Amino acid sequence: MTDRHALPAGFRWGVSTAAYQIEGAVEEDGRGRSVWDAFCERPGAVKNGESGRLACDHFHRWGEDVELMRGLGLDGYRFSIAWPRVRPAGRGPVNGAGLDFYDRLVDGLLAAGITPLPTLFHWDLPQALEEEGGWLQRDTAHRFGEFAAAAADRLGDRLPAWITLNEPFVHMVYGYALGIHAPGRALMLDALPAAHHQLLGHGLAAAELRARGLDVLIANNLTPVRAASEAPEDVAAAEAYDALHNRLFTDPLLLGRYPDLGAYGVGPDLCGSVREGDLELIAGPGLDGLGVNYYNPTRIAAPTDPGLPFAEAPVEGVPRTHFGWPVVPAGLHELLLTLRDRYGHALPPITVTENGCSTDDTLDDAFRIDYLAGHLDALARAAADGIDVRGYYTWSLLDNFEWAEGYSQRFGLVHVDFETQRRTPKASYAWYRDLIAAQRAAAATR
């Protein structure tokens, strides 16, 4: 990364994780069951029958992990608070012992000079709420607001900014439409109420956070959508896909309305789930920041099967991660410019809340270094183009439980031996540490 592409002074450097992917200790200190505990027990649901039961044992080893973060010289750490630790049954009494864990973690981070950035929902819904319908039920949004209030009452004195949801698109599609993530429902378009109820939950949680003087962000998985050709059918299919993946989760937040889902045969009430006042609540007084999780662009062609108005086409001629995801750093620049063109003054400051890759090498992860350098260049170009970018949280600190892929996809700056729980920094760890130091020094002299 060249100084020409330097990021602005005050830019925050971080790493990102999520509770179920690293904590383990699923039965400790009164934690309730989550949809992921249940999903992992389903034969064939997760590769090799693996689960987050132990994961990185971060619940016990968080002190060592904070030291690893201190070694990186981070400004910020994005993690998630497990709802089933705080309200084991999703409703009812708050489990103080569950909050004690985050209390210790937050104090440890602050002592290391790192600002914690919590996410309230990173896919681990209490199983008791799933049994009442999960995010298909409107009531879950209200329970989420209550959970946000309980967490903020305990930790809000030390945490200035909060992320409500992580990737409601991925949770809706993988969890409710296709059934390849928890809770494992394959409802196709009947999953759409799970989009609205998550966003309503965001609105209710945001109101609780704002009432306590806290900043509110949301982390969305966004992708620049490219039509496979200029043929009108491909262009129309790309627009339909863009509406589902990007606009469905950003338009209501920033514009106070849902995009046109006519291509799906769905009206503006999202299968009957939208009620009067909901959109005002979702948009609220505006976000303090938009978290962007960027991994790759998406190429879309005209549908080949009836049922959906698009078909995914491969992105060709680029390297691929171990997961098979195409590596297109320029897509991040393209995405941020599209957001600015689309939302103008309604676009809040951007923080990249996830970006990273899985690799199959162990410690000498030159592929990851190239990946991160390329994306940071793209981000710096977006900043030079006038986009207000405030931070970058790479995914992830540690190799961890990668959902349906089990432990087969390693995204960490730090290698984890899952037999011994030994942590070993990879080459990318030293690279990221040096980059942060150099960027900070350069910013100080500008």
Q: Which stretch binds ligand FCB (CB under 6 A): 140-148, 165-173, 277-285, 420-428?
A: 165-173
Q: Is there binding between residue 180 and ligand FCB (CB under 6 A)?
A: no
Q: Which stretch binds ligand FCB (CB under 6 A): 62-70, 164-172, 328-336, 337-345?
A: 164-172
Type of residue at 388: D
Q: Is there binding between residue 428 and ligand FCB (CB under 6 A)?
A: no
d(CA 320, CA 297): 12
d(CA 347, CA 17): 25
Catalytic one of 50, 239, 354, 402? 354
Q: Which one of residues 11, 13, 15, 18 is an interface residue with ligand FCB (CB under 6 A)?
A: 18
d(CA 35, CA 27): 14
Q: Which one of residues 198, 221, 351, 428 is an interface residue with ligand FCB (CB under 6 A)?
A: 221
Q: Which one of residues 23, 37, 65, 167 is an interface residue with ligand FCB (CB under 6 A)?
A: 167
Q: Is there binding between residue 294 and ligand FCB (CB under 6 A)?
A: no
CA distances from 78 to 97, 119, 370 (A): 21, 7, 23
The DSSP 8-state label assigned to residue 297 in this structure reads -
Catalytic one of 23, 167, 208, 402? 167
Tell me the β-bridge partners of 422.
Answer: 417
Cα–chain center distance at 152: 20
d(CA 287, CA 253): 8
Q: Is there binding between residue 166 and ligand FCB (CB under 6 A)?
A: yes
Tell me the β-bridge partners of 76.
Answer: 14, 115
Q: Is there binding between residue 402 and ligand FCB (CB under 6 A)?
A: yes
Determine whether 27 is an active site residue.
no
- The burial of 291, by beta-carbon neighbours within 10 Å (0-12 exposed, 13-18 middle, 19 or more buried), is given as buried
Q: Is there binding between residue 395 and ligand FCB (CB under 6 A)?
A: yes
At closest approach, how far in Å is the CB of 325 from ligand FCB? 9
Q: Is there binding between residue 411 and ligand FCB (CB under 6 A)?
A: yes
Element containing residue 444 per DSSP (H, E): helix 427-445
At closest approach, how far in Å is the CB of 171 from ligand FCB? 9
The DSSP 8-state label assigned to residue 320 in this structure reads B
Determine whether 167 is an active site residue.
yes
Binding residues for ligand FCB (CB under 6 A): 18, 21, 166-167, 170, 221, 293, 354, 395, 402-403, 411
Residues classed as catalytic: 167, 354
